[in-house]
Amino acid sequence: MQAYLAEFIGTMMLVLLGDGVCCNVSLNKSGMKGGGTVHILIGWGMAVMVPAFTFGAMSGAHFNPAVTIGLAIRGGLAWSLVPGYIIAQMLGGFCGAAILMVLYGDHIKATDDDATIRGCFCTGPSIRNTVLNFLSEFVATFILVFTLASIPGDAGASGVSWVLVYGVIVACGASFGGLTGYAMNAARDSAPRFAYQVLAPNKGKKDPDWAYGWIPAVAPICGGIVASLLWMAVFA
């Protein structure tokens, strides 16, 4: 239960800090509106690193179903723990988004575009192409999981591993963020997307866009599985 609680709170913090950056630079009346892509890249990297420092020793700081499944494939986590990890991550992602909707409630009211509001909580493609959008999320998560698997086990004791995670997140965002928003994580995308669907106000064209939303849920898991299998073939 301690690990599940860590995954819940850690994922909630990740979404609070990560989607909070998007709210901060996108919503009307925000003092940092227009902060830009560099602001988002740095903020999202920190959003992953901060809870990882906090909960790494308790749960491994997955905060991502793709990372959890990948670790189980590599034998680093019992399969019996996987459902609990994923449930905790999804609940954490939902709660993080819900808290942001309260904090930024006035700014959401001041923003008339439903798509802008949705974009603060979940990702979307710059050009809608199912195959390439899937491939983008697959490749980005492949790099994430393969890299995480390659970090030396003793790096976590000094905290160096979490700095490396920051570097991976920023690198993936800098290279792939313009394609699909580099979700790489169902708990960061699907859970806040559902929170948007049920909690956000309707400005006239409210659409959680599940027609695309399945991609950032499924593609990262596929990328994580392939990354883990390849890692075992190369290093195990």
Task: Report CA-CA distances (Å) from 232 to 74, 81, 150, 223, 228.
Answer: 7, 21, 10, 14, 6
CA distance 161 to 170: 14
Q: pLDDT tens digits for 22-45? A: 999 999 999 999 999 999 999 999
CA distance 53 to 160: 10
Q: pLDDT tens digits for 179-231? A: 999 999 999 999 999 999 999 999 999 999 999 999 999 999 999 999 999 99
Domain range for 21 is: 2-235
Q: pLDDT tens digits for 67-102? A: 999 999 999 999 999 999 999 999 999 999 999 999
Query: Do 62 and 89 contact (CB within 8 A), yes or no?
Result: yes
Smallest CA-to-CA distance from 6 within 67, 120, 122, 84 is with: 84
CA distance 29 to 31: 6
Q: pLDDT tens digits for 131-147? A: 999 999 999 999 999 99
Look at the block and give the residue holding tokens 């993936």.
172
CA dihedral 78→13→171→153, nearest 10 degrees, is -40
Token digits of residue 198: 């049920």
Query: Do 232 and 195 contact (CB within 8 A), yes or no?
Result: no
Predicted confidence band at 160 (pLDDT cuts at 50, 70, 90)? confident
The percentage of residues in the chain with a pLDDT greater than 70, rounded to a whole number, is 97
Token digits of residue 6: 């860590």
CA distance 63 to 104: 23
Domain CATH code at residue 103 = 1.20.1080.10
Count up the domains in the chain and report the number: 1
